[in-house]
Structure 1
């Protein structure tokens, strides 16, 4: 779900992003615009489901934006966050479909509640839209989904066969005389780059295309049926009930059909022939094993039959052994350092004669653990620091033109992933520092006034705890100590003027009580104000 924040003040947009618990709301993308005109361009490109907007902005204000949204993005949910308690603005908010009108300074509970309500409302309406769409789908278009689920249940629990036996006979002609079965797995966890590029954002379409191609060959001779396995996010299962002696030749034809349609080929894991239905799980596990244990560095065949053999010895090379080199390179924000760290890791990988899916999964798991650890160490408030793009799983699209696992492509993707992580961390650090520098400027402009931590929190729409902690991290000094130091430095300058009384100077730097001012001054300077004046 996408959310767009529209406000001409950067610190307000930053504050909103910090105040919202995005993870609990299931919101993964937060977009920003500094006025209504910029917001329109973003809405046209990204179509955010929820839009939060200020009302008083340059170029195109909030009222004009709400009116445009009413006409061109009617399904989006609108929330107004304004510093003006104005009836006319509220009236326009209601007129153009706004769900809520929040006043600045923003109350975090009200903001999160408004977002939750907007999200729930959008999801209910979206569900209703989907239901209306489903009603227009003809029954023959929904049948493949039905069989995906039914046959997935049978693979997971063979005893389920007895409850669907009549349906299988009616649909596929599977009779009691068919006593054997064989499972083939087509896995999309490793695919050629040309296919990945084509279907990067259309995973469902890829499954649909592959199952249709497979079934063109399987159903023609009533050999079996291909379906998406619902207990896995990357497997298509070919359930075969006859023609076992010709299966390998048929799978080759299927792969050529896939190449003709999609310009890429896939690996097939082939289990052994087992009794039907009770042996279906055994054949499935064998097909899985055949895929997992294939050597990704060599491409001698697209068909991988199961062979009963001892598991290969584990490779004693862990990505975590290089974690400190990776961490220092990421925190350096230097592309050359990242390249050097990855290059050292790749040299070790190239010494390995066999790399299979199980090994890649282990390295991927180690990488995600390291990345999560680095992000957590940066700040407990960084709910935004999540990398969810397809590039994060840096070995999913790394096949060369011959269908072999490419270490060179993997190196490039790993470097890009680490560089993206480094840029994200740097951006977050800069953003937090910029907020604190704004706080410093605020203090230096108002040191002569009564300033509390709550006043600062209200001004910047942040919690007191967050400001206090971040101020200490950025400056190395407590906020209260910083304020005292600024006041005393200003007082030292004023004491050089002999025409000003001590009581006047105390008032001018924010102390109503002269005695308290003198006490604080002496503690900081180790001299009373009078002594300092005489000496200087």
Structure 2
């Protein structure tokens, strides 16, 4: 903090310098001036926060200095130190913002109290200024977001305009005199990869920069007349900036060309833009947005040029749906089951050979293929991982992202590579799952071999291995070509054959030892399996 002492008497200036404990008030520089004119020069140069001044001085008096301070430097705090106690001088000091009026000779305590009062006021006002600056910065940051959300809501609910009409008129000139409008959409879903990488960490900055450029060119200053529109981020989409145009609508194409050039000069890049026809404002906002969006979604992505597409009578023509992914689904499924990446590449290449024959591919077609792919993929997972809760599924209801090359154009080559990688990963999951299935089924077989003598049920086995009964039954038969109960019976009968060779064991004992509580039922099962009763088997095989 700085201070200045203004007095034509040097000994008074020296006294003030000695009486004030400057370091207590964080004042690290004390200037001196011998009259009001000298003080003005130094105040303009050094901007001291605290001013001590005499009232009666040559050249420029303290009264004149205080008048100048109030008009030119109102933030400074002034303490008057004077040898005159006339009422007019005191009144003048109060009128022009003096903090205190101290009479000479100077009282040390009175001076310290005056400095404390002045410094406290300086600090309080500085704190208030910083707080207000922070609030202003916050408001400036929030204001664009506020308007972006209001304007975004108008596209889906035009009736909301009535409650914001006055504010929109004051802020953008979008008042009741506006009867017609057009919507233009700047699409960010096909920007170049280098441009996308540049803003990857801060997409907010991209929207801020883009809308700033557009708003500058839409402003009254740029047009030389009324404002021509508003650019804002559309909060219902991550890839769209909106231009709401309502001035000079017959010159829309020229205006958009200027905006296109402005974006090119700033970003060294272009955007695809879809533009609606003229619609009534505000009731036609939703229709205008949908029209602009539709023409963008139906643009031919095979054309390697960023364009401005303006809706016309042909804009509503339906997209072609002549090529279907499902027509190639079966050979691709078989290639996945084969476990061969080469077979997958061939099957995918056959699909893309047909895709490359098309003269037009639009966003709706791409999303339709993506939907078909996800449907058949889900079906494959249900078939390949049946009964196991789709353990192999780890993704794939993700939104479609256009496969782009470095310049931001549709790349069928990259899409083909992505699909091959995705299907190869699916194939690896399948093979891994099949190996796991085989392992667990053999574990179940070992479990039965170790517990054949117990009355184990299918449900107990299912609980032990955390699998469904149906899944175990199906997989067990696929692996061993016999159902679970026959496998268990086979083990029991084999064990019974060995025990029957011991003449000291009764048939009832042997039945219990291999898991049968009922001797008659054991004999029935044994005869059905071996062809003879247990007693007959024992007689024939006695040593």
Report the TM range for the smaller structure's normalisation: 0.5 to 0.7
In structure 2, the CA distance between the partners of 1:160 and 1:404, relative to structure 1 (3 Å rule), is same
Q: Does 1:340 align with 2:346?
A: yes
Q: Does 1:307 align with 2:312?
A: yes
SS of corresponding position for 2:525: helix
**Match runs of 1:221-260 below 5 Å:** 221=217, 222=219, 223-232=228-237, 234-242=239-247, 244=252, 245-255=254-264, 257-259=266-268
Whole-Å separation in 1 of the counterparts to 2:390 and 2:276: 44
Do 1:213 and 1:254's aligned partners in 2 also have CA atoms closer than 8 Å? no
1:357 to 363, 378, 400: 363
Q: Which residue of 2 aligns with 1:149?
A: 149
Do 2:388 and 2:467's aligned partners in 1 also have CA atoms closer than 8 Å? no
Do 2:477 and 2:484's aligned partners in 1 also have CA atoms closer than 8 Å? yes
SS of corresponding position for 2:377: helix
In structure 2, the CA distance between the partners of 1:412 and 1:219, relative to structure 1 (3 Å rule), is same
SS of corresponding position for 1:219: helix
Whole-Å separation in 1 of the counterparts to 2:274 and 2:474: 54
Q: Which residue of 2 aligns with 1:424?
A: 429
2:395 to 365, 388, 391: 388
1:212 to 208, 211, 234: 208
Do 1:192 and 1:397's aligned partners in 2 also have CA atoms closer than 8 Å? no
Give unmatched runs, 5+ long, in structure 1: 1-136
Task: Please report the TM-score for the alignment, with normalisation by the length of structure 2.
Answer: 0.64
Do 1:511 and 1:517's aligned partners in 2 also have CA atoms closer than 8 Å? yes
**Match runs of 1:313-332 below 5 Å:** 314-332=320-338
Whole-Å separation in 2 of the counterparts to 1:431 and 1:236: 50
Q: Deviations over 1:432-480 (max 9, x none)?
A: 4433332222111221233233432443344555544554455454332
Question: Computing the radius of gyration over CA atoms, which structure comes out larger, 1 or 2?
Answer: 2
Q: Which residue of 1 aligns with 2:405?
A: 400
Q: Deviations over 1:145-176 (max 9, x none)?
A: 44343222211232221121123224434233
Do 2:270 and 2:306's aligned partners in 1 also have CA atoms closer than 8 Å? no
1:532 to 503, 519, 537: 537
Q: Which residue of 1 aligns with 2:184?
A: 184
Do 2:279 and 2:288's aligned partners in 1 also have CA atoms closer than 8 Å? yes
Do 1:290 and 1:307's aligned partners in 2 also have CA atoms closer than 8 Å? no
Task: Please report the TM-score for the alignment, with normalisation by the length of structure 1.
Answer: 0.64
Q: Which residue of 2 aligns with 1:446?
A: 451
Q: Which residue of 2 aligns with 1:269?
A: 274
How far has the Cα of 1:230 moved from its partner? Answer: 4.2
RMSD: 3.1
Whole-Å separation in 2 of the counterparts to 1:480 and 1:224: 78
Q: Which residue of 2 aligns with 1:67?
A: none
Whole-Å separation in 2 of the counterparts to 1:241 and 1:464: 68
In structure 2, the CA distance between the partners of 1:218 and 1:190, relative to structure 1 (3 Å rule), is closer
Moved more, 265-274 or 439-448: 265-274
Q: Which residue of 1 aligns with 2:103?
A: none
Whole-Å separation in 2 of the counterparts to 1:534 and 1:197: 86
Q: Which residue of 2 aligns with 1:133?
A: none
Q: Which residue of 2 aligns with 1:117?
A: none
Whole-Å separation in 1 of the counterparts to 2:482 and 2:174: 77
Q: Which residue of 1 aligns with 2:89?
A: none
In structure 2, the CA distance between the partners of 1:257 and 1:434, relative to structure 1 (3 Å rule), is farther
In structure 2, the CA distance between the partners of 1:380 and 1:463, relative to structure 1 (3 Å rule), is closer
Q: Does 1:158 align with 2:176?
A: no
The structure, 1 or 2, with the larger RCO (C-alpha pairs under 8 Å, 6+ apart) is 1
How far has the Cα of 1:191 moved from its partner? Answer: 4.2
In structure 2, the CA distance between the partners of 1:241 and 1:429, relative to structure 1 (3 Å rule), is farther
1:288 to 274, 289, 293: 293
